[in-house]
């Protein structure tokens, strides 16, 4: 416990020092990845629409109890990381959160971005450190555009952000999200602090974008939803 507290305090100090460099942040290596709904194992949820290369570049997750029953359910960070985007992109995206993860694979540090879209609420801010299983938002409907669901992506290419059109929609740039989670449930060297790039996205250019972050302060998790 003391060790964990020390690690947390060290991270705060390191993060403060790193603020001098807007292109970098420190974060903890992921100790594994879980599903973004029904964490850790997606209990009570299913994929309503899967990943298709050059088509649907993520997975749509919905409650198993039927359409709309998952509205405002919690959405969780799939792993330790730092929030790189948390804002309302309007149009087809709605509220979006992107989290940058560093993780060990075959003895090397690798990186991935997880993206959570159409959210009803955003509970984190850009630059914030998040932990695996921490609630970051709630399932939404992209400002009444769709039936409620979570659109979930995992990016290999860290330049994508929310601009799909700049990069080939294939497995060189994207992971199949649930395959990524299933292949990385438990990872070595978890919680060690490492550096990740920040502010490297090409941002959309349509009018009014990027919208100012629409952040809802985190509420007591015991609150009824
Ligand atoms: Zn989708």
Q: How does pLDDT run across 27-37, given as a tens digit for each residue?
A: 999 999 999 99
pLDDT tens-digit readout, 167-189: 999 999 999 999 999 999 999 87
Cα-to-centroid distance, 48 and ligand 1 (Å): 9
Cα-to-centroid distance, 178 and ligand 1 (Å): 13
User: Could you tell me the domains of the chain?
Assistant: 2-197 (2.70.70.10)
Instruction: Indicate left, alpha or beta for 136 from its phi (over 0: left) and psi (-120 to 50: alpha).
Output: alpha
In angstroms, the first-to-last Cα distance of the chain is 31
180 and 154 Cβ atoms separated by less than 8 Å: yes
Cα-to-centroid distance, 179 and ligand 1 (Å): 16
Cα-to-centroid distance, 60 and ligand 1 (Å): 5
Own/partner contacts of 11-18, CB < 8 Å, gap of 24 or more, are: 11/129, 11/193, 14/193, 15/129, 18/195
Cα-to-centroid distance, 88 and ligand 1 (Å): 16
Cα-to-centroid distance, 132 and ligand 1 (Å): 22
C-alpha distances out from residue 4 to 1, 57, 165, 192, Å: 5, 37, 42, 11
pLDDT tens-digit readout, 105-153: 988 999 999 999 999 999 999 999 999 999 999 999 999 999 999 999 9
Tokens found for residue 74 = 């919690």
């Amino acid at each position: 416990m003391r060790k964990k507290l020390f690690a947390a305090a060290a991270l705060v100090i390191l993060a403060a020092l790193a603020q001098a460099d807007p292109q970098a942040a420190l974060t903890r290596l992921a100790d594994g990845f879980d599903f973004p709904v029904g964490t850790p194992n997606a209990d009570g949820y299913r994929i309503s629409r899967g990943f298709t290369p050059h088509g649907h570049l993520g997975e749509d997750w919905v409650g198993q109890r039927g359409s709309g029953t998952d509205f405002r359910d919690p959405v969780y960070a799939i792993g330790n990381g730092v929030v790189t985007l948390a804002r309302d992109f309007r149009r087809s995206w709605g509220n979006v959160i992107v989290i940058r993860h560093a993780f060990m694979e075959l003895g090397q540090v690798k990186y991935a971005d997880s993206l959570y879209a159409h959210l009803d609420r955003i509970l984190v801010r850009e630059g914030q450190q998040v932990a695996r299983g921490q609630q970051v938002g709630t399932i939404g409907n992209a400002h009444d555009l769709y039936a409620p669901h979570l659109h979930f992506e995992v990016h290999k290419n860290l330049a994508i952000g929310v601009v799909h059109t700049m990069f080939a929609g294939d497995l060189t740039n994207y992971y199949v999200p649930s395959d990524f989670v299933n292949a990385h449930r438990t990872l070595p060297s978890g919680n060690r602090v490492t550096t990740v790039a920040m502010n490297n996205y090409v941002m959309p250019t349509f009018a009014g974008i990027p919208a100012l972050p629409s952040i809802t302060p985190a509420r007591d998790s015991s609150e009824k939803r």
